[in-house]
Amino acid sequence: KSALEGDEFAQFHLAEKNGFNEKALYWYSKCGEQGNRIACARVEEMYRYGRGCEKNVELAEIWAAKATLRYED
C-alpha cells in the first residue's frame, strides 16, 4: 500500500521527508489518526511552536492528548 492508500509507514515517511511544512503536517496528521503516537506528537509540536503552520496551542493540546491516549492503549 502507498501513503495515498492509507499505509501508516508510507505516510510517516512522507512526513519525515518534508520536514516542517504543510505537507508534513498533512501526512503526520493522517498517520496520527491511524494511531501512530510519534506522528501525533509531531503534529502537537508543529502546532505548539508554529513549525510549518500557524501556531495553535488549542490544537496542540488536542494532539498531545491523542499521543498520550495512543501510548496508554
pLDDT value at position 70? 57
Reported as a single tens digit per residue, the pLDDT across 2-58 is 999 999 999 999 999 998 999 999 999 999 999 999 999 999 999 999 999 999 999
Q: Which amino acid is at 66?
A: K
Closest CA to 18 of 1, 48, 43: 43
Considering the entire predicted model, what is its pTM?
A: 0.90
Phi and psi angles of residue 28, each rounded to the nearest 5 degrees, phi first: -60, -40
